[in-house]
């Protein structure tokens, strides 16, 4: 008689097993939950949990053994007591006791109590496969050129770093203005005391202005040439028909679409596509529109809602939670 297997079967069937003088093992279900302040969505999940409370009249494990193995009550009771005594003896020797597909019992010397750790790979937790906590992105996010997400504060800092460099022409005009003002002041205050060649000063000032005006004209000519080149690249004339190059516009449109965040309401996650299709048919028979999302060819998730607006996704999630309590709905988001 393998009592570990019996405990697993009873826990799978009734979600509860009581071990005399040890405690009660339960298979509890927790629905998905939205943490409002952190913007986090916890998916629905099962947990194998242990409590030290033991009901004196709980003989369900013994009764289950008498039915499965067709033995009398006293013999089944002795087997259970021997099994529980073996657990206590082993863990008090600082050796963990493992029940396959259920969990491990340990002894805490400091608190003088039993510790239980669930088996994360148990078949009882198979519905948890692929379900992870989801953090909903903030609405105040911007996309950088390399498709990295920046917060609002970081984007402001980035914009501040990119400042327009001062123009060379502007610097030259500032210097010329300073020279003009200086020469005017010198001429005004010292006209009668020293000889100042006003024609020489004005000629030098005109030369400086001419130099910067030439540079400015050259810059404007270069700008015109570049503009003509850009216009020449944008179209070509053939048989008096104009053909415009729309590839850049299409690339921008594709980039906008690629950066759009889409929210899904997921009702199930499977490693096997056949199981996913069976569950899909069950939902359609109930009148619920659904589709299969393939994740890296290893996960097949059943989506019952697709939204581009975060608030709409939350509202529909709440409606499903209220009116379709049997569905274990959770969030999934990705860029599409």
CA 310-315-317 angle, to 5 degrees, is 95
Residues 6 or more apart whose Cβ sits within 8 Å of residue 55: 18, 24
- 39: number of Cβ within 10 Å: 14
Query: Alpha helix locations (H) across 102-167?
Result: 152-161
Question: Residue 55 to residues 17, 79, 274, 321: CA-CA distances in angstroms?
Answer: 11, 19, 43, 34
**CATH class of the structural domain 3-31+46-131:** few secondary structures
Distance from chain centroid for Cα 323? 27
Which residue in 296, 292, 283 sits closest to 264, CA to CA? 292
Task: Identify the CA nearest to 41 among candidates 314, 261, 295.
Answer: 314
pLDDT at residue number 56: 64
pLDDT the model gives residue 86:
93
User: pLDDT tens digit string along 79-114?
Assistant: 999 999 999 999 999 899 999 999 999 999 888 899
Q: What's the confidence (pLDDT) of residue 195?
A: 47
Q: What is the assigned CATH class of domain 141-147+259-335? A: alpha beta
DSSP string for residues in 12-62: HHHSEEEETTTEEEEEEEE--EEETTTTEEEPPEEEEEEES---TT--HHH
Q: How far, rounded to the nearest angstrom, does the alpha carbon of residue 157 sit from its chain's CA centroid? A: 24
- Alpha-carbon separation of residue 50 from 10, 16, 80, 127, 318 (angstroms): 15, 10, 18, 20, 31
User: Distance between CA 250 and CA 241 in Å, rounded?
Assistant: 22
For residues 65 and 19, is the Cβ–Cβ distance under 8 A? no
Ranges of the chain with pLDDT below 70: 55-56, 128-131, 136-169, 184, 186-259, 297
C-alpha 28/C-alpha 46 separation (Å) is 6
For the chain, which residues make up each domain, given as ranges?
3-31+46-131, 141-147+259-335, 168-249
| Long-range residue pairs from 57-60, CB within 8 A, at least 24 positions apart, any chain | 58/18, 58/24, 60/10, 60/14, 60/16, 60/17, 60/18
Alpha-carbon gap, residue 101 to 252, rounded angstroms = 52
For residue 144, what is the DSSP state?
-
Residue-level pLDDT at 102: 93
CA atoms within 13 A on the CB side of 62: 18
Nearest to 91 by CA among 110, 119, 114: 114
What pLDDT was estimated at residue 240? 44
Beta-carbon contacts of residue 51 (< 8 Å; ≥ 6 apart): 23, 24, 26
Query: What pTM did the predictor assign?
Result: 0.45
Helices (H), 103-197: 152-161, 168-189
Fold matches, 3-31+46-131 and 141-147+259-335: no
Distances (CA, A) of 49 to 22, 26, 184, 271, 283: 13, 5, 92, 25, 31
């Amino acid at each position: 008689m393998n009592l570990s297997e019996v405990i697993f079967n009873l826990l799978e069937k009734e979600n509860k097993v009581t071990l005399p003088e040890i405690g009660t093992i339960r298979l509890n279900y927790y629905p998905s939950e939205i943490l409002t302040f952190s913007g986090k969505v916890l998916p629905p999940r099962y947990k194998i949990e242990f409590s030290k409370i033991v009901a004196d009249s709980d003989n369900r494990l013994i009764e289950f053994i008498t039915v499965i193995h067709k033995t009398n009550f006293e013999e089944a009771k002795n087997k259970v007591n021997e099994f529980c005594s073996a657990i206590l003896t082993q863990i008090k020797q600082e050796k963990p006791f493992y029940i396959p597909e259920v969990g491990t019992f340990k002894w805490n010397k400091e608190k003088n109590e039993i510790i239980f750790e669930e088996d994360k790979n148990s078949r009882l937790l198979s519905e948890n496969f692929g379900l992870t906590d989801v953090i909903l992105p903030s609405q105040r996010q911007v996309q950088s050129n390399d498709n990295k997400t920046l917060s609002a504060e970081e984007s402001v800092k980035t914009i501040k770093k990119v400042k327009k460099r001062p123009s060379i022409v502007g610097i030259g005009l500032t210097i010329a203005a300073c020279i003009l003002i200086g020469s005017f002041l010198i001429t005004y205050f010292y006209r009668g005391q020293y000889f100042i060649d006003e024609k020489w000063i004005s000629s030098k000032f005109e030369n400086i202005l001419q130099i910067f005006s030439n540079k400015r004209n050259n810059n404007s000519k270069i700008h015109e040439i570049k503009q003509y080149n850009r216009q020449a690249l944008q179209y070509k004339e053939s048989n008096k028909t104009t053909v415009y190059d729309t590839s850049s516009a299409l690339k921008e449109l594709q980039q906008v679409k690629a950066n759009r965040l889409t929210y899904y309401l997921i009702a199930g996650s499977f490693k096997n596509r056949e199981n996913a299709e069976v569950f899909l048919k069950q939902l359609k028979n109930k009148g619920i529109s659904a589709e299969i999302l393939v994740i890296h060819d290893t996960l097949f998730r059943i989506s019952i809602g697709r939204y581009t607006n975060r608030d709409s996704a939350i509202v529909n999630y709440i409606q499903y939670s209220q009116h379709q309590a049997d569905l274990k709905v959770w969030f999934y988001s990705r860029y599409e």
